[in-house]
Amino acid sequence: MSDLVKQKCEACRADAPRIADDELPDLLKQIPDWQPITTDSVLKLNKVFNFDSYSEAISFTNKIAQMAEEEDHHPAILLEWGRVEVTWWTHKIGGLHKNDFIAAAKTDSLNT
């Protein structure tokens, strides 16, 4: 399990630094199933989780929502039958912050 899951998201300011290009590979190694994607020129983390039923997908979505409230950091979530797509990025800085990697690792830990 990644050390990221043990960390806590910090309050993020609009002037907080984005993850530097040279930091990205090491952080991605800690959450290997997450994909960096760019949408509207914003770098984000994305992962699809598959389930055997809609109720399992809802249950997982609710776990993410609870964790997001506890961390005060909230993802985009697309819930479908047997599928949950989660996308993390930091709105205030228009890109990736360490909080996004912490939240992604914690999201993975909910799916065990």
Which 8-state DSSP code applies to residue 49? Answer: E
pLDDT at position 28 over 80? yes
- Where residue 76 falls among pLDDT bands split at 50, 70, 90? very high
pLDDT at position 42 over 60? yes
List helix spans (H) across the chain: 24-30, 54-71, 98-110
pLDDT of residue 2: 64
Classified by CATH at the fold level, domain 42-112 comes out as Gyrase A; domain 2 (3.30.1360)
How far is residue 111's CA from residue 60's CA, in Å, rounded to a whole number? 7
Rounded (5°) CA angle 91-50-55: 95
Q: What percent of the chain has pLDDT over 90?
A: 82
Amino acid code (one letter) for 88: W
pLDDT at position 35 over 90? yes
How far is residue 81's CA from residue 11's CA, in Å, rounded to a whole number? 34
Amino acid code (one letter) for 4: L
- Where residue 14 falls among pLDDT bands split at 50, 70, 90? confident
Q: Model-level pTM?
A: 0.93
